[in-house]
């Protein structure tokens, strides 16, 4: 079963984020708190949304998908960015990942989102094969850029004074 996440799922979502980071060999990078997840998913201005995959027999959470809307300037339409998709190892092969992706595709269709995009690590061949089986197009010509930490602060310090107020989100 796939359902929208609720406030009661926050601890479980955080646990699965940690499990995903361990799988991706980056557990030391996880800093998110339950309070941050609460604000991001259920605050006054949600930054993201989440779905939960549950085992049909036990009702236990076996996976999640966390996404947020994005905007494509070339098409002038909104789209979806899937930040995380995770299914616990013992539940893989049970159709939960495919069901999560199908539900997200349905959200796209219902909202007129023309693009549904996400990243996958180049070494994660089982997942890449799974995505290809669904007809996903891999965009090899794009490189992900990230600015964080000290370089982000240094660039921000160069902002012209013209920027009186940051844009409201």
- Active-site residue set: 131
Q: What are the counts of helices (DSSP H) followed by strands (DSSP E) for the chain?
A: 5, 5
Count CA atoms closer than 13 A to 76's CA, side-chain side: 0
User: Residue 92: how many CA atoms within 13 Å on its side-chain side?
Assistant: 9
| Residues 153/154/155/160 CA torsion (nearest 10 deg) | 100
């Amino acid at each position: 079963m796939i359902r929208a996440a609720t406030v009661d799922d926050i601890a479980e979502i955080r646990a699965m984020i940690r499990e995903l980071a361990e799988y991706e060999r980056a557990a030391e990078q996880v800093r998110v708190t339950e309070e941050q997840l609460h604000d991001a998913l259920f605050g006054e201005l949600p930054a993201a949304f989440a779905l939960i995959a549950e085992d049909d027999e036990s009702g236990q959470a076996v996976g999640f998908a966390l996404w947020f809307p994005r905007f494509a300037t070339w098409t002038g339409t909104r789209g979806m960015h899937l930040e995380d998709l995770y299914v616990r190892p013992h539940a893989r092969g049970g159709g939960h990942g495919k069901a999560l992706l199908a539900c997200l595709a349905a959200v796209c269709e219902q909202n007129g989102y023309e693009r549904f995009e996400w990243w996958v690590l180049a070494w994660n061949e089982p997942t890449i094969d799974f995505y290809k089986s669904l007809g996903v197009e891999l965009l090899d010509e794009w490189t992900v850029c990230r600015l964080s930490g000290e370089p982000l602060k240094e660039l921000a310090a160069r902002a012209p004074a013209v920027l009186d107020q940051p844009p409201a989100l």
